[in-house]
Amino acid sequence: MQSRVNEAIQTHYTRSDLANVILAALEKAGKDVSRLTPEDLAPIDEFHIRGRAATLELARAAGLDATRRVLDVGSGVGGTSRCLAKEFGCRVTGIDLTDEYCRAATILSAKIGLAELVDYRQGDATNLPFDDRSFDVVWTEHVAMNIPDKSRLYREMHRVLKPGGTLAIYDILAGPSSPVLFPVPWARSPDTSFLVRPEELRKLLEEAGFTVSDWSDTTEAARAWFVSLAEKIRKDGLPPLGFHVLLGADFQAMAQNQGRNLQEGRIVLGQVVAKKST
């Protein structure tokens, strides 16, 4: 099943020559692509609800600093890894199922001078290509929704963490209402969507050997962010650079459904920090 799901997920996310598509959109937005900054990439950089603000909140909750070796599971086009490297001085390795995302992440990171602190590999989150006890922090934002075998996912994260290491999660979870309305940014149909409820996630983490140290429901902040985003798009139209560059023509339908899913309690947001005790 996992291989079939992986193929469908890569089809959902892949756009050919993505780095050049992003650079062309930046040029259209009036940016000098030979002198890019992290702020220039911000509209597309962090492919999750509330973007960089959510990343910084989780980083502070997880206690990141320059001594931490971080694995970013589901690193996308590299926005989160670049943010952590720039803001906290962390050395970050990103892994993503979609090879085109890894290529784009590498190119964009070099463009803003962070190639020394970040690197990217294509791979499967349920079979991480790293040795046991390799990282101080395992980080993941908006990734587990696409992974059916969550027990294996969290066991692998536990395996590659050093003793006392930190797992930092920001994910979309199943809400009290159902079903989810599709398409959404992570799936065009239920075939590649695997949400669990908050209590299920907590149980999965504990069974994998983690102790949850911090749990925040950030759904209300996500709702407010979506209302603001929808109003901005309604007023100004789609900007030259945004998530629609990654997802294509049906992004607006995905965004509308995502907003409804949040408003109607079909999905909730969880920010979770957990520790590996042994």
Strand blocks (E) in the chain: 69-73, 91-96, 118-122, 135-141, 161-174, 210-217, 267-276
Q: Is the pTM of this model over 0.85?
A: yes
Residue 119, helix vs strand vs coil: strand
Distances (CA, A) of 108 to 23, 45, 241: 9, 10, 14
Nearest one of 105, 172, 162 to 137, comparing CA atoms: 162
Report yes or no: 229 and 48 within 8 Å, Cβ to Cβ.
no
**What are the chain's domains?**
2-276 (3.40.50.150)
What are the pLDDT digits (tens) for 102-161? 999 999 999 999 999 999 999 999 999 999 999 999 999 999 999 999 999 999 999 999
What are the pLDDT digits (tens) for 99-116? 999 999 999 999 999 999
